[in-house]
Chains A and B, each alone.
Chain A
Amino acid sequence: MTDRITTDAQSLIDAHGDALYRFALVRVRDKDAAEDLVQETFLAALQGTYRESGPTAERRWMIGIMKHKVIDYFRRTSREPIQQADPSGLAAEDTFLDDGHWKPEAAPMQAWTEPPDRLIERRQFWEALAGCMDRLPPRAAQVFTLRELDELETDQICELLQLTPTNFGVILYRARKQLRDCLGSRYFGQAQEGLNA
């Protein structure tokens, strides 16, 4: 008797399908690809042996499988051209003066004083962040999530996505800056206005 998950597929899909789908979508940024990855993950999970118990462990286990599927996906598709939207963040000339100083309207004027532990608790923060990440160009979102969510090293990501180190640096610089600008106005800006009011 193996420890193979024998629960019916339906309840497995109901329990983990949405979370796995969102996990994939935020990384690959393609609905069809994300659905395929969910399916592959379930198929792999049903063939694997599963030794822990409880829904949390089960979720963690399936997410672990999904992580590998996402990496495989990037390996398969990295040579395909990606639809590259214009970066929707502020351009350099909108952020900096000719002499390289911050423009007052684009400068990081507010101190973000909420500690990480507190931010993590805030639903509004996660909503703002998810919204801001949706607006990243696809390639930027991929590089950013691999680096900051999955904590891959620089050279691993460059190899996986076929990027030069210079490209990698520019993409992450823009992604971080765009997220900072977006969160500044969508989340921290509101808090700031509230304080000043």
Chain B
Amino acid sequence: MSRRASPIYTCQDMSQLLSDAMDRTLPWHTRLRMQLHLRICLLCRQYQHQLTLLRAVLRKSGNQLTEAEHTHAPGLSPEAKARIQRAIDSHDR
């Protein structure tokens, strides 16, 4: 990430690395340097917490996104329903 020789990542480096760490195991030295940064940086700790919270909520109950009582998102249009019904009927015969 950072091409600088500094042993401490910047917050900008951290924002990418914290995301990467959710998808793959990073090398141990990278994780160590991340820990150093997190220890001294409240904002990045909060950012990490927020990303983790978002994942936890979605993985626990992501289907609520598409359940009717939780969304104003439109369902199938009447035309689409009729079309699908016709497709099923003609398939049955």
Does B bind A?
yes
| B65 pairs with A129, CB closer than 8 A | yes
B51 lies within 8 A of chain A by Cβ: yes
Q: In the complex, which residues of chain A have a beta carbon less than 8 angstroms from the beta carbon of B65?
A: 22, 26, 126, 129-130, 133, 149
| A13 pairs with B85, CB closer than 8 A | yes
A residues neighboring B (CB under 8 Å): 9-10, 13-14, 17-19, 21-23, 25-26, 35, 38-39, 42-43, 46, 63, 92, 95-96, 99-102, 107-112, 116-117, 119-120, 123, 125-127, 129-130, 133, 147-149, 151, 154, 165, 168-169, 172-173, 176-177, 179-180, 183-184
| A107 pairs with B43, CB closer than 8 A | yes
Partner of B58, one of A23, A63, A148: A148
| B67 pairs with A108, CB closer than 8 A | no
- Given A101-B11, A154-B23: A111 and B84 interface contact (C-beta under 8 Å): no
- Given A19-B68, A133-B65, A169-B16: A176 and B84 interface contact (C-beta under 8 Å): no
Distance in Å from the Cβ of A118 to the closest Cβ of chain B? 10
Count how many pairs of residues, one from A and one from B, have CB atoms less than 8 Å apart in the complex: 157
B:32-83 near A, CB below 8 Å:
43, 46-47, 49-51, 53-73, 75-76, 80-81, 83
Distance in Å from the Cβ of A135 to the closest Cβ of chain B? 13
- Interface residues contributed by chain B, number (CB under 8 Å): 51
Partner of B89, one of A9, A18, A22: A9
Partner of B87, one of A39, A133, A184: A39
What does DSSP make chain B's interface, helix, strand, loop or mixed? helix
Distance in Å from the Cβ of B84 to the closest Cβ of chain A? 5
Q: In the complex, which residues of chain A have a beta carbon less than 8 angstroms from the beta carbon of B5?
A: none
| B73 pairs with A25, CB closer than 8 A | yes
Which residue of B46, B68, B88 has the most chain A CB atoms within 10 A of its CB atom?
A: B88
7 other A-B residue contacts (CB within 8 Å) besides A116-B57, A120-B60, A169-B23: A13-B85, A13-B88, A46-B88, A46-B91, A127-B72, A149-B65, A176-B19
| B10 pairs with A116, CB closer than 8 A | no
| B71 pairs with A21, CB closer than 8 A | no
Report the separation of the CA atoms of residues A126 and B84 in the bound assembly, to the nearest whole angstrom: 29
| A96 pairs with B12, CB closer than 8 A | yes
Q: In the complex, which residues of chain B have a beta carbon less than 8 angstroms from the beta carbon of A92?
A: 12
Closest to A172 in B: B19
Q: In the complex, which residues of chain B have a beta carbon less than 8 angstroms from the beta carbon of A110?
A: 46
- Given A22-B71, A26-B65, A123-B69: A183 and B54 interface contact (C-beta under 8 Å): yes
| A151 pairs with B59, CB closer than 8 A | yes
Partner of A168, one of B15, B23, B47, B91: B23
| A43 pairs with B87, CB closer than 8 A | yes
| A23 pairs with B70, CB closer than 8 A | no
Closest to B20 in A: A169
